[in-house]
Amino acid sequence: MGGSADDAKEASSVLARTRLLVSEAHALTYALVMVLSSTPREELTSEEIDALCQVAYELLSKLSKAAECCERSNEASGC
């Protein structure tokens, strides 16, 4: 029965990390969309474009980590 409690604790931990990653990705997505939607292209400097690319990369990274957490959770639960 101890294994089941450990599995439940691990699943809870994975879900908590996944929720955090999704929240961070949501915030990054919102920031990126707001900047891109409110700024004419010709007003962006190359440094600003680089920064937006960095945000997009970080978003992709967070979403990839969330997907990995979900995959591990599914494997642990036998799904």
Q: Could you read off the pLDDT of 11-46 as tens digits, one per residue? A: 788 888 888 888 888 888 888 888 888 888 888 888
Q: Give the pLDDT score at 16.
A: 84
Tokens of 6: 């450990």
Mean pLDDT estimate for the chain: 81
Name the residue ranges covered by the structural domains of the chain.
2-77
Q: What is the pTM of this model?
A: 0.60
Tokens of 54: 């960095």
Higher pLDDT, 51 or 11: 51
Distance CA 72, CA 15 (A): 10
Percent of the chain at pLDDT exceeding 70: 90
Distance CA 61, CA 75 (A): 21
